[in-house]
Homo-oligomer: A and B are copies of this chain.
Amino acid sequence: MSVTAPLGFRAAGIAAGIKAGGSRDLALVVNDGPNRAAAGVFTANRVKAAPVLWSQQVLRGGRLRAVVLNSGGANACTGPEGFQDTHATAEKVAEVIEDSAGEIAVCSTGLIGERLPMDDLLPGVEVAAAQLSRDGGLAAADAIRTTDTVSKISFKRGEGYMVGGMAKGAGMLAPGLATMLSVITTDADLTAEELDAVLRRATAQTFERLDTDGCMSTNDTVLLMSSGASGIKPDIAEFEQKVTEVCADLARQLLVDAEGASKAIAIEVVGAASEDDAVKVGRSVARSNLLKCAIHGEDPNWGRVLAAVGTTDAEFEPDRLNVAINGIWICRAGAVGDDRDKVDMRPRDVTITVDLSAGPHTATVHTTDLTADYVHENSAYSS
């Protein structure tokens, strides 16, 4: 199902020879309309890959006919030549589907600092176009995998319409800066402005709360495309909920596929003076290498949680902080609480609850533990 669950979309995923080994590495998703409104959110990294620069420019028009995605190379830090490669890829798609390159987005993922093998990629576009079909969603999701062990797909049904999606990214634990790419489609009928507002809110609650090692990719891209083929103009609140559910489902799939990780950690911040404060504290805890090592060792080390909270400017008093791990409040009022031996650290899922005692707001940030496998995988990659 994936991106072809909604009406009006065809997709394909093929092996163009970009990756050594012959596995799928090129995906194409085409919107047959009647609508082609679209929106995108991109990495906040100031060092942006050529396809990000290109797609940002395309999305200014608020319309997308198609998106072409490749694994096997990020096309980042490749200079003006790399940008020309992206441009040529969009032009090639335009040629074979007889449309305008100005409404074709490009996404790439893989190693930074290497040019793409255009002699393989451009012919691959023709092959992909020839294979476009209403059943192509799974092949497309397969073709964007890098170190992902499984394809990530999702779909939800709204009142008379569908929302579908695919994503790649093996947590941040995958090498190559763990680019996260996602394409979400719908046959509901919306304007570019509506899609943009919904996508920003949905990703802020989902993908942006996944923080496995604090490293930010040069290539992260999430696209939302509307074909309008259902003829339904949805209730916006319901539509936002469906898109958020698809994003949350995909984000969860990224988290559990994080290679090298043995724990999925939810940092649930409660009692915050604002949602911003809650996210800030959650992110700080999620980025503590020392805490992530402790969780790996099944050690409910609440001192490392407090130390991470203390590095933020969120509203709190140190002597009013409470911390629970897997439901046991082992830190109360900034000091020792319940018996730490009561905490069962064995399950793969670990929930750390931080109560700031400063207000009614909450947020949850998701991360993984830090393991020797993470080090191994990320030290043995491009050498």
Interface residues of A (CB under 8 A from B): 44-48, 74, 76-82, 111-114, 172, 175, 177, 213-218, 287-290, 293-294, 296-299, 301-304, 306-312, 316, 318-319, 321, 331, 333-336, 370-372, 374-383
Contact = CB atoms under 8 A, between A and B. Distances in A.
A79 B319 contact: yes
Report the 6 A-B pairs with minimum CB-CB distance, sorted nearest first.
Answer: A112-B303, A297-B379, A47-B310, A79-B335, A293-B378, A372-B372
A294 B372 contact: no
7 contacts: A76-B306, A80-B319, A177-B303, A216-B307, A293-B375, A294-B382, A297-B381
B177 A45 contact: no
Kindly report how many copies of this chain are found in the complex they form together: 2
Contacts of A318: 46-48
Given A218-B306, A307-B216, A301 B375 contact: no
Contact of A306 (B77, B290, B297, B301): B77
Given A77-B335, A177-B303, A214 B45 contact: no
Contacts of A331: 77, 113
Contacts of A321: 47
Given A290-B378, A294-B379, A333-B79, A303 B215 contact: no
A336 B370 CA distance: 31
Contacts of A370: 289, 375, 379
A45 B290 CA distance: 15
Given A336-B77, A371-B375, A111 B310 contact: no
A302 B383 CA distance: 12
A304 B336 contact: no
Given A46-B318, A290-B378, A294-B381, 17 more contacts: A46-B311, A47-B306, A47-B310, A77-B334, A77-B335, A111-B303, A113-B335, A215-B308, A217-B307, A289-B289, A289-B378, A293-B377, A293-B379, A294-B378, A294-B379, A294-B383, A374-B375
B297 A383 contact: yes
A215 B243 CA distance: 36
A80 B217 CA distance: 44
A40 to B, nearest CB: 18
A341 to B, nearest CB: 11
A310 B44 CA distance: 8
